Amino acid sequence: MNSSKNRSSTNQENPGPDCRVQRYSTAAPPAGKPKEIEMQTTLALCVGVALTLSAPTQASVVTFYNLGNNFSWEPQYPFEGVPGRALDLTQDATQLNAPSNRSVWVERGFHSSPFTVVAHSLTALPINASPSLARFARSTTPTTIFGVGGVPQDVFAIQRFSAGDLIGPGLDWQSTVTFQQGSNMSGTQLPTARAFVGVEFPMADGIHYGFIEMSFTRLGVPPVYSWGYETQPNRPFIVPAPGSSLLALASLIAFRRRRTM
């Protein structure tokens, strides 16, 4: 797999997507031979796909797709002393880098008794490395849940975003935020459905905002479908629709084919 160095800003710390690029080209046919279709297309279908918005007033959001579940976001279990796997929103699904000041982790809680409702969290506080400086957007609206025995409890959980929502300054940014409760519950529980979460983290040129698209399971490894970030510092961005970068790329390929036929 070749590593692309095409980046959306002059900051040398901003990595580009790691893409497998295939180029298709046919030469002009000799005189007297049947005319062949000329086609020059660059196809970038990979674990990480970068989409740069064309309007000059818009910034650039880089999206990485976890195709084939290549990246498994293994949780950390602090009570058992089991470290988890760090996720860096600026790297593709093949990432094997050591934790940095922008890494994030999944943390699974522990039931100290059959009546304990434990929190499963997204965190910037690993058990086997230095804390990162990343933060997660927390909802300012509490969700009332009911533990075993029906005791109500208000939880300020992770804020769930949808495509088209804005992520940026002004949100309630926290280093550790509950994304799910344990199985020892009755009644209302936190949603498990697929959604986006907001992340902010530092780079050399300032604070950047990003997202993780995931499901919020109660057990095991939570499914992660994509992640990405705004390459311009201190700038909010609109959450992309799932697969929008791939659709835009497919449209570009189709347009080039029509022009060369």
Q: Where do the domains of the chain lie?
A: 21-257
Residues 188, 157 contacting (CB under 8 angstroms): no
pTM for the whole structure: 0.72
What is the spatial distance between Cα 182 and Cα 206, in angstroms, rounded to a whole number? 36
**pLDDT tens-digit profile of 222-245?**
999 999 999 999 999 999 988 654
- pLDDT attached to residue 191: 85
Stretch (H or E) spanning 260: helix 244-260
User: What is the longest distance spanned by two Cα atoms in the chain?
Assistant: 86
- pLDDT attached to residue 13: 41
Residues 119, 154 contacting (CB under 8 angstroms): no
The alpha carbon of residue 151 and the mean position of all alpha carbons in its chain are separated, in whole angstroms, by 35
Spell out, as residue ranges, where the chain has pLDDT lower than 50: 1-58, 245, 248-255
Close Cβ partners of 18 (under 8 Å, ≥ 6 residues apart): 1, 2, 3, 4, 46, 47, 48, 91, 92, 94
Phi and psi at residue 107, to the nearest 5°: -125, 125
What is the spatial distance between Cα 4 and Cα 19, in angstroms, rounded to a whole number? 6
Q: Is 224 helix (H, G, I), strand (E, B) or coil?
A: strand
- pLDDT attached to residue 112: 57
- pLDDT attached to residue 85: 96
- pLDDT attached to residue 155: 86
What is the spatial distance between Cα 58 and Cα 22, in angstroms, rounded to a whole number? 28
- Residue 58 CB coordination number (10 Å): 13
Task: List, in sequence order, every residue forming a beta bridge with 22; answer none if it has no partner.
Answer: 43
